[in-house]
Amino acid sequence: MNKKLNNILISNDDGYKAIGLKVLLNIAEQLADNVLIVSPKINQSAKSKSITIKQNINFREMSKNFWIVDGTPTDCMIFALNHLFNKNKPDLILSGINAGSNIGDEVSYSGTVAAAWEGAVRGIDSIALSQYGGDDKINSYECSQAKGFDIINYLLTIKSQTPRFYNVNFPFIISSNLENVRSSFTTLASQKIADEILFDDDFSSFMIGRMINDHSSLINTDLECLKKNKISITPLSLNLSNNEFLKKMNHDI
Residue 28 contacts residue 20 (beta carbons within 8 Å): no
Asked if pLDDT for residue 35 goes beyond 90, the answer is yes
Number of domains in the chain: 1
Confirm if 170 and 98 have CB atoms less than 8 A apart. Answer: no
pLDDT at 248: 84
pTM metric for this prediction: 0.92
Q: Could you give the 3-state DSSP secondary structure of residue 93? A: strand
Task: Tell whether 26 is covered by a domain.
Answer: yes
pLDDT at 85 over 70: yes
Does a structural domain hold residue 62?
Answer: yes
- Write down the pLDDT at residue 40: 97
Residue 175's pLDDT band (boundaries 50, 70, 90)?
Answer: confident
The confidence band for 118, taking pLDDT boundaries of 50, 70 and 90, is: very high
User: pLDDT exceeding 70 applies to what percent of the chain?
Assistant: 97
Whole-number pLDDT of residue 246: 85
User: Would you tell me the crossing angle of helices 19-31 and 142-155 to the nearest 10 degrees?
Assistant: 40
For residue 216, is pLDDT > 80? no
> Residues in the chain, how many?
253
Alpha helices in the chain (DSSP H): 19-31, 73-79, 111-121, 142-155, 222-227, 243-248
On whether residue 212 sits in a domain, the answer given is: no
The domain of 137 spans 5-189+218-248
Q: What is the mean pLDDT of the chain?
A: 92
Measured on CA atoms in the order 146, 148, 149, 151, is the torsion positive or negative? positive
pLDDT at 78 over 80: yes
Confirm whether 138 is domain-assigned: yes
Mean pLDDT for the stretch of residues 43-71:
95
Supply φ then ψ for residue 63, to 5 degrees.
-165, 180
Query: What is the CATH number for 236?
Result: 3.40.1210.10
Q: Residue 252's pLDDT is what?
A: 65
DSSP letter for 3, please. Answer: P
Tell me the residue ranges of DSSP E strands in 122-238. Answer: 126-131, 165-170, 183-185, 192-199, 206-213, 231-235
pLDDT at residue 212 is higher than 80 = no
Region 109-124 average pLDDT: 96
How far apart are alpha carbons 13 and 15 in whole angstroms? Answer: 6
Would you give the distance in Å from CA 18 to the centre of its chain? 14
The answer to whether position 206 is within a domain reads no
- 222 falls in which pLDDT band (50, 70, 90)? very high
Q: How confident is the model at residue 2 (pLDDT cuts 50, 70, 90)?
A: low
For position 197, what pLDDT does the model report? Answer: 86
Asked whether residue 197 is assigned to any structural domain, the reply reads: no
Residue 253 pLDDT level (bands cut at 50, 70, 90): low
Q: Is residue 132 part of a domain?
A: yes
How many whole angstroms separate alpha carbon 237 and alpha carbon 248? 21
pLDDT of 182 higher than 60: yes
Query: Does 159 score more than 70 pLDDT?
Result: yes
pLDDT at 237 over 70: yes
